[in-house]
Protein backbone atom coordinates (compact mmCIF):
# COMPACT_ATOMS: atom_id res chain seq x y z
CA UNK A 1 0.00 0.00 0.00
CA UNK A 2 2.78 2.43 0.91
CA UNK A 3 4.27 1.80 -2.54
CA UNK A 4 1.15 3.28 -4.15
CA UNK A 5 1.11 6.09 -1.61
CA UNK A 6 4.63 7.12 -2.65
CA UNK A 7 3.85 6.87 -6.35
CA UNK A 8 0.90 9.21 -5.83
CA UNK A 9 2.64 11.82 -3.69
CA UNK A 10 5.85 11.69 -5.67
CA UNK A 11 3.96 12.49 -8.88
CA UNK A 12 1.81 15.14 -7.19
CA UNK A 13 4.33 17.06 -5.08
CA UNK A 14 7.97 15.99 -5.27
CA UNK A 15 8.08 15.61 -9.04
CA UNK A 16 5.17 17.89 -9.86
CA UNK A 17 4.72 17.66 -13.62
CA UNK A 18 4.43 21.38 -14.23
CA UNK A 19 6.52 23.09 -11.58
CA UNK A 20 9.39 20.66 -11.22
CA UNK A 21 9.52 18.82 -14.56
CA UNK A 22 8.38 21.62 -16.90
CA UNK A 23 5.65 19.63 -18.60
CA UNK A 24 2.48 21.20 -19.94
CA UNK A 25 3.69 24.78 -19.66
CA UNK A 26 1.64 26.08 -22.57
CA UNK A 27 -1.70 25.65 -20.83
CA UNK A 28 -0.08 26.51 -17.50
CA UNK A 29 0.68 29.97 -18.84
CA UNK A 30 -2.21 30.32 -21.28
CA UNK A 31 -5.28 29.28 -19.26
CA UNK A 32 -4.43 30.38 -15.73
CA UNK A 33 -6.07 33.81 -15.79
CA UNK A 34 -9.17 32.57 -13.88
CA UNK A 35 -9.24 29.99 -11.07
CA UNK A 36 -12.51 28.35 -12.14
CA UNK A 37 -11.33 27.73 -15.71
CA UNK A 38 -7.86 26.61 -14.62
CA UNK A 39 -9.34 24.15 -12.14
CA UNK A 40 -11.65 22.62 -14.71
CA UNK A 41 -8.87 22.36 -17.28
CA UNK A 42 -6.97 20.44 -14.60
CA UNK A 43 -9.91 18.04 -14.30
CA UNK A 44 -10.04 17.55 -18.08
CA UNK A 45 -6.27 16.94 -18.07
CA UNK A 46 -6.63 14.37 -15.28
CA UNK A 47 -9.33 12.57 -17.23
CA UNK A 48 -7.12 12.33 -20.33
CA UNK A 49 -4.12 11.30 -18.18
CA UNK A 50 -6.15 8.49 -16.67
CA UNK A 51 -7.36 7.10 -20.00
CA UNK A 52 -3.88 7.48 -21.48
CA UNK A 53 -2.35 5.55 -18.61
CA UNK A 54 -4.82 2.70 -19.05
CA UNK A 55 -4.28 2.63 -22.83
CA UNK A 56 -0.50 2.75 -22.37
CA UNK A 57 -0.66 -0.24 -20.03
CA UNK A 58 -2.64 -2.20 -22.60
CA UNK A 59 -0.32 -1.16 -25.46
CA UNK A 60 2.79 -2.00 -23.44
CA UNK A 61 1.49 -5.42 -22.56
CA UNK A 62 0.13 -6.55 -25.92
CA UNK A 63 1.55 -4.45 -28.75
CA UNK A 64 4.82 -2.74 -27.94
CA UNK A 65 6.60 -5.85 -26.74
CA UNK A 66 6.59 -6.99 -30.35
CA UNK A 67 7.28 -3.60 -31.95
CA UNK A 68 9.16 -1.25 -29.59
CA UNK A 69 9.96 1.12 -32.47
CA UNK A 70 6.27 2.03 -32.70
CA UNK A 71 6.22 3.42 -29.16
CA UNK A 72 6.00 7.16 -29.79
CA UNK A 73 3.66 6.76 -32.76
CA UNK A 74 1.31 4.43 -30.88
CA UNK A 75 1.20 6.66 -27.79
CA UNK A 76 0.52 9.86 -29.69
CA UNK A 77 -2.19 8.20 -31.77
CA UNK A 78 -3.96 6.97 -28.63
CA UNK A 79 -3.64 10.37 -26.97
CA UNK A 80 -5.01 12.18 -30.02
CA UNK A 81 -8.07 9.95 -30.12
CA UNK A 82 -8.62 10.24 -26.36
CA UNK A 83 -8.46 14.02 -26.53
CA UNK A 84 -10.97 13.94 -29.37
CA UNK A 85 -13.34 11.88 -27.20
CA UNK A 86 -12.84 14.22 -24.22
CA UNK A 87 -13.53 17.18 -26.46
CA UNK A 88 -16.81 15.70 -27.64
CA UNK A 89 -17.78 14.81 -24.05
CA UNK A 90 -17.05 18.31 -22.75
CA UNK A 91 -18.91 19.87 -25.67
CA UNK A 92 -21.99 17.81 -24.82
CA UNK A 93 -21.93 18.12 -21.02
CA UNK A 94 -20.66 21.65 -20.54
CA UNK A 95 -20.81 23.96 -23.57
CA UNK A 96 -19.73 26.88 -21.35
CA UNK A 97 -16.51 25.16 -20.37
CA UNK A 98 -16.01 24.17 -24.00
CA UNK A 99 -16.09 27.84 -24.99
CA UNK A 100 -13.89 28.96 -22.09
CA UNK A 101 -11.16 26.42 -22.77
CA UNK A 102 -11.22 27.28 -26.46
CA UNK A 103 -8.13 26.21 -28.37
CA UNK A 104 -6.55 24.74 -25.24
CA UNK A 105 -8.92 21.78 -25.22
CA UNK A 106 -7.76 20.26 -28.53
CA UNK A 107 -4.24 21.37 -27.57
CA UNK A 108 -4.25 18.83 -24.73
CA UNK A 109 -3.00 16.54 -27.52
CA UNK A 110 0.23 18.50 -27.69
CA UNK A 111 0.35 18.89 -23.90
CA UNK A 112 3.62 17.18 -23.17
CA UNK A 113 2.44 16.13 -19.70
CA UNK A 114 0.16 13.51 -21.26
CA UNK A 115 2.79 11.92 -23.51
CA UNK A 116 5.37 12.17 -20.72
CA UNK A 117 3.09 10.19 -18.42
CA UNK A 118 2.91 7.34 -20.92
CA UNK A 119 6.70 7.39 -21.42
CA UNK A 120 7.60 7.60 -17.71
CA UNK A 121 5.18 4.82 -16.95
CA UNK A 122 6.85 2.62 -19.56
CA UNK A 123 10.39 3.54 -18.51
CA UNK A 124 9.68 2.77 -14.86
CA UNK A 125 7.94 -0.48 -15.72
CA UNK A 126 4.70 0.37 -13.92
CA UNK A 127 1.88 -2.16 -14.06
CA UNK A 128 -1.79 -1.34 -14.52
CA UNK A 129 -2.63 -0.26 -10.93
CA UNK A 130 0.65 1.57 -10.46
CA UNK A 131 0.01 3.39 -13.73
CA UNK A 132 -3.46 4.48 -12.66
CA UNK A 133 -2.10 5.71 -9.32
CA UNK A 134 0.63 7.58 -11.16
CA UNK A 135 -1.95 9.19 -13.46
CA UNK A 136 -4.11 10.28 -10.49
CA UNK A 137 -1.04 11.73 -8.76
CA UNK A 138 0.10 13.58 -11.86
CA UNK A 139 -3.44 14.87 -12.43
CA UNK A 140 -3.72 16.07 -8.84
CA UNK A 141 -0.38 17.82 -9.26
CA UNK A 142 -1.58 19.54 -12.45
CA UNK A 143 -4.82 20.68 -10.77
CA UNK A 144 -2.81 21.98 -7.81
CA UNK A 145 -0.30 23.85 -9.96
CA UNK A 146 -2.96 25.33 -12.27
CA UNK A 147 -5.18 26.48 -9.38
CA UNK A 148 -2.29 27.96 -7.38
CA UNK A 149 -1.02 29.85 -10.42
CA UNK A 150 -4.51 31.14 -11.28
CA UNK A 151 -5.10 32.32 -7.69
CA UNK A 152 -1.86 34.28 -7.70
CA UNK A 153 -2.64 35.79 -11.09
CA UNK A 154 -6.13 36.87 -10.01
CA UNK A 155 -4.52 38.86 -7.19
CA UNK A 156 -1.86 40.28 -9.48
CA UNK A 157 -4.57 41.79 -11.68
CA UNK A 158 -5.04 44.47 -9.01
CA UNK A 159 -1.36 45.05 -8.33
CA UNK A 160 0.57 48.00 -9.69
CA UNK A 161 3.17 46.43 -11.95
CA UNK A 162 5.46 48.29 -14.38
CA UNK A 163 4.14 47.85 -17.89
CA UNK A 164 7.40 46.21 -19.05
CA UNK A 165 6.99 43.30 -16.65
CA UNK A 166 3.33 42.60 -17.48
CA UNK A 167 2.64 39.47 -19.49
CA UNK A 168 4.57 36.26 -19.79
CA UNK A 169 7.69 37.47 -17.96
CA UNK A 170 5.70 38.13 -14.79
CA UNK A 171 3.93 34.77 -15.04
CA UNK A 172 7.32 33.07 -15.32
CA UNK A 173 8.60 34.82 -12.20
CA UNK A 174 5.52 33.72 -10.25
CA UNK A 175 6.01 30.19 -11.59
CA UNK A 176 9.63 30.34 -10.46
CA UNK A 177 8.48 31.28 -6.97
CA UNK A 178 5.96 28.43 -6.89
CA UNK A 179 8.60 26.04 -8.21
CA UNK A 180 10.94 27.18 -5.45
CA UNK A 181 8.25 26.38 -2.90
CA UNK A 182 7.77 22.92 -4.42
CA UNK A 183 11.49 22.24 -4.10
CA UNK A 184 10.76 21.99 -0.38
CA UNK A 185 8.81 18.80 -1.00
CA UNK A 186 11.94 17.00 -2.19
CA UNK A 187 12.65 16.38 1.50
CA UNK A 188 9.64 14.04 1.49
CA UNK A 189 11.50 11.48 -0.58
CA UNK A 190 14.28 11.14 2.01
CA UNK A 191 11.60 10.29 4.56
CA UNK A 192 10.74 7.30 2.43
Partner 1 sequence: MHDLDSLTAVPSGPSTAPPLEDFLKGLWKENPVFAQMLGMCPTMAITNSVMNAIAMGLATTFVLFGSGVFVSIFRKRIANEVRITTFILIIAAFVQIADMGLEATMPVSHKALGPFIALIVANCLLLARQESFAARNNVWRSALDALGMGIGFTLGLCVVGSVREILGQGSWLGIRVMPATFEPWVIMNLPPGGFFSFGFVLLGLAWWNERKSRRASLRIPVALPDTRPLFEQAV
- Please give the residue ranges that form the binding site for partner 1 (CB under 8 A): 19-26, 29-30, 69-73, 76-77, 80, 103, 107, 109-112, 114-116, 119-120, 123, 163-165, 167-173, 175-177, 179-180, 182-183
Q: Which is nearer to partner 1, 89 or 180 (CB)?
A: 180
Q: Are 33 and 161 within 8 A, CB to CB? A: no
Q: Which is nearer to partner 1, 8 or 182 (CB)?
A: 182
Cβ at position 132, least distance to partner 1 in Å: 20
* Helix, strand or coil, per DSSP, at residue 9: helix
Distances (CA, A) of 150 to 25, 94, 143, 159: 13, 21, 10, 15
- Rounded to a whole number of angstroms, the minimum distance from the CB of residue 2 to partner 1 is 26
Which CB atom, from 89 or from 161, has the smaller least distance to partner 1? 161
Judged by beta carbon, residue 2 or residue 163, the one nearer partner 1 is 163
CA distance 112 to 22: 9
| Distance in Å, CB of 116 to partner 1, minimum | 6
Q: Which of 86, 58, 85, 50 is nearest to 74 (CA)?
A: 58
CB 1 to partner 1: min, Å: 28
Give the 3-state secondary structure of residue 140: helix
Residue 26 phi/psi, 5-degree rounding, is -60, -50
Amino acid sequence: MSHYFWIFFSAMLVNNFTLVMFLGLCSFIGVTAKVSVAFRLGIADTFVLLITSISASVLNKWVLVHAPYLRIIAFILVIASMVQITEMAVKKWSPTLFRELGIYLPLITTNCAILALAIFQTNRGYGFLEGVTFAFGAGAGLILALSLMASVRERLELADIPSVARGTALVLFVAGGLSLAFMGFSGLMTAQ
